[in-house]
Each structure stands twice: as structure tokens, then as C-alpha cells.
Amino acid sequence: IKKSHHWEGHTMSQSMPPNYDERNREESISARVYREIKNKILQLDYLPGSYLTEARLAEEYGVSRMPVRIAIQKLSSEGWLLSDFRRKLRVKDVTQKSVQDLFSFREIIETRALQKIFEDDRTWEYSFLIEQKLLRMRAARDNYYEYMVADAEMHFELITVFDNDRIKDIYYPICDELVRIDLLLSEVVTRDIHIGIEKLVAAIRDKDYDTAYYYLKRDHFGTTIGGYSVAQQVEKHLAELRAAQN
């Protein structure tokens, strides 16, 4: 989902030529700063609702204010940073309502995606596509963040069945936001989501829609954990993190 997290390795046979275009250099630095700020937002180093400043970010990343400003503009356009009338930057918050809305939206679109996989007789193809994401989840079990990124990539794989770029554009930030929410649930969510996905893959391969939907709904559309709503659990853990920072 996060295109900035996974890069194909390329070996260069010779050194890259120097870049004398300062404008392009600034854009390159701003791209790095953008990725690093966004990763820190997703990994909760910058907590939801916390405040940042351009000066602080420039100092933290050891760069001038211009690339930071460019990165901020992009993050603001994506909704990750919000500025108030005092020009203070606030990291996009997580509320009970936003959590409920995201889970509801995911259930609507992914239920339809699963139906379309069966309707279009693409069960064999998608069982293997989802299985590839499952392998990444297994490999990342010791890193909860990477584990949930791989889970989000599985969800994104489901919606590719629509072959619709607008849906993909909408779903990229939703998957990012769900990774952030999953990190806020790390204390109550066990690292065995992949076991249910194994059963989901088997059901899709066997063309058993009812069983496939059962595991998708059970493990990914649920709105309660341990008798509490997911939204309440997220808010509780976020409050604890904020208290620990103060």
C-alpha cells in the first residue's frame, strides 16, 4: 500500500552523474523528508492530534525549510497534516467516529470485491495473489508494523478486482490509515491474523464464497475486541500514549 516502504533493488554499473540543478535537488530532499514524516505519522512517532512546526522538522531532518515546506504541502493535501489559523501543524487525529467510518467503508467495498472475484470466476487467480501477501505477513511476524502493512496490502489486493483507478486512489490512504489504527490496537490484537487469511485463501481456491466471507468478516470487519468496541480501544490506547508523552 505504502509505495514508499518497498523498493526494488537496482545495481548501478557506474556512479550517478552529479546534479547541478538545485531545484531538482530540493525536490529530491523534499521527497525523502515527505516519506520520513509520513512513516513517523503512520508508526505513531508523531501521535494523532499532536503538533509539529516547520522549524522543528527542518532541525530534526537536518535540512533547510524549503524541502520541509514542500513535504508539508504534500502531506497537507493528503490530509495527514492540518494547519490552523496560527499556522501550527496538527497531525491528523483519530476519533471514534473516524474509526467506525473506516471499518464500515472497508466492509462495504471489500464485501463487494469478494463477490466480484466469485462472479468473474477469478477465484484461482486471487487465491494466489492473496497468498503472496500472506507469505509477507508470516515473514513479518516479529515486526508488528510490517505485519500490519502486509495485512493492508492484502486488503488492497482484494479491491484490484475492480480494475478502477479511482477506487485505488481512494483506497491507498484508507489502507494507510488502517495501519495506523492497527498499531493503536497492538495491545489487544494478536499476531495470528494470517491464520484466518490462510482459511480465506483456501475457501476462495475451493470456490466456497460463504466460508471465504465468514473469515473476511470475522477477522477484518469486526467492531468489537474483548467486549469493547474497536473505536473505544483505539481511543483508550491513544490516551495512554499521550499521557506517557506528557
Average pLDDT over residues 63-68: 93
Q: How far apart are alpha carbons 188 and 184 in whole angstroms?
A: 9
Nearest to 188 by CA among 160, 226, 150: 226
Q: Are 202 and 159 in contact (CB under 8 A)?
A: no
Nearest to 30 by CA among 87, 75, 88, 81: 75
Q: Are 206 and 125 in contact (CB under 8 A)?
A: no
Q: Which residues pair with 225 in a beta bridge?
A: 228
CB burial of residue 39 (10 Å; 0-12, 13-18, 19+): middle
236 falls in which pLDDT band (50, 70, 90)? confident
Q: Are 116 and 74 in contact (CB under 8 A)?
A: no
Share of the chain above pLDDT 70, in %: 84
Q: What is the pLDDT of residue 237?
A: 85
Q: Are 144 and 5 in contact (CB under 8 A)?
A: no
* Residue given cell 473505536 in the structure block: 231
Q: How far apart are alpha carbons 209 and 113 in whole angstroms?
A: 12
Lowest mean pLDDT among 73-77, 82-86, 171-175: 82-86
Q: What is the pLDDT of residue 3?
A: 42
Q: What is the pLDDT of residue 185?
A: 86
- Whole-angstrom CA distances from 58 to 5, 25, 204 are 22, 16, 49
State the sign of the Cα–Cα–Cα–Cα dihedral 123, 128, 133, 137: positive
* Residue given cell 477506487 in the structure block: 167
Predicted TM-score (pTM) of the model is 0.81
224 falls in which pLDDT band (50, 70, 90)? low
* Residue given cell 483505539 in the structure block: 234
93 falls in which pLDDT band (50, 70, 90)? very high
Lowest mean pLDDT among 58-67, 121-130, 219-228: 219-228
